[in-house]
Amino acid sequence: MPRRAPTCALSNLYVNPASVNTLMKTFRTITALLLVIGACLTSRAAYLHAKAELAGILIRRAWNGTIQSGRDQPPWPWADTHPIARLQIPRLHYEEIVLEGATPRTLAFGPARLQSGANFGEPGNLILAGHRTSWFRPLQGIASGDTIQIDWYDPRVRQLRHRTYRVQVIRVAKPQETALLQPTSDDALTLITCYPFGSNPTSPHRFMVRAVPVEAVSGNSTGNDFHPLSSQPRHHGRAYRHSP
């Protein structure tokens, strides 16, 4: 029998030029959309970073103004909060200005005092809150025995006051476990944030730090061991930044 000539496989690879043009146009459109989305996200990130930097400058300026004038000063005219204290954790090289009233809007700009707790210079449980993704994220490195320093302006004596606390308890708890947030007869400082730290989509627990005045640790507390400081503001670089 005569042998049949093999058919060329390349004859099956014919592609309609119109289909190729359509695919290329679709590819270009998708690429352009991705570039536009990327540019928008980059611009938004840059905007939020610049906004956070400016807010930090204004908050520190308002804090220094409070120290010098003795009056509460909002960081910008429409702000519904004002700086009330400076929080430092020396071992972590941490320093932030504390704002009044731990509302969602205020917490976007810094750690803040829970108004359900004691006030600065008053006996009881002083409670400060901050976001786990920014202001209080450095708390993941805190350890028992660390010192926490707080400066605040006392309008009663018209001067800056200072107190040093020592960390005694570090606890991860469920939201309904609020023992460390209850009022206390003794002076105490409680820091609280969500847990786990970072940008995890969920934060089912709370990370709490309880500290007591160093005078109480040494057994020399008189119940009102607040130390006056110079009214001249101290200038420190911010160790941690945040883009709300």
pLDDT tens for the chain, 244 residues long, are 555 555 555 455 555 676 667 777 776 777 767 767 666 656 655 655 566 788 889 999 999 999 999 899 999 999 999 999 999 999 999 999 999 999 999 999 999 999 999 999 899 999 999 999 999 999 999 999 999 999 999 988 889 999 999 999 999 999 999 999 999 999 999 999 999 999 888 889 999 999 999 986 665 544 445 556 544 444 343 444 443 3
The helix (run of H) or strand (run of E) holding residue 167 is strand 159-173
The helix (run of H) or strand (run of E) holding residue 55 is helix 17-69
Nearby residues of 61 by Cβ (< 8 Å), 6 or more positions away: 75
**What is the domain-level CATH number for residue 167?**
2.40.260.10
Nearby residues of 153 by Cβ (< 8 Å), 6 or more positions away: 66, 67, 70, 84, 159, 160, 161
Say if residues 198 and 132 touch (Cβ distance below 8 Å): yes
Residue 163 Rama label (left phi>0; alpha psi -120 to 50; beta)? beta
Residue 27 lies in a domain: no
Considering the entire predicted model, what is its pTM? 0.74
Residue 161 lies in a domain: yes
Say if residues 227 and 149 touch (Cβ distance below 8 Å): no
Residue 24 lies in a domain: no
Residue 154 lies in a domain: yes
Q: What is the Cα–Cα distance from 212 to 163, expressed in whole angstroms? A: 10
Structural domain range at position 125: 78-229
Residue 124 lies in a domain: yes
Residue 50 lies in a domain: no
The helix (run of H) or strand (run of E) holding residue 150 is strand 147-154
Q: What is the Cα–Cα distance from 243 to 190, expressed in whole angstroms? A: 25
Q: What is the Cα–Cα distance from 130 to 194, expressed in whole angstroms? A: 8
Structure tokens given for 46: 């840059």
Residue 206 lies in a domain: yes
**How many domains does the chain fold into?**
1
Residue 53 lies in a domain: no
Structure tokens given for 76: 């910008």
CA dihedral 183, 223, 220, 139 (to 10 degrees): 40
Nearby residues of 9 by Cβ (< 8 Å), 6 or more positions away: none
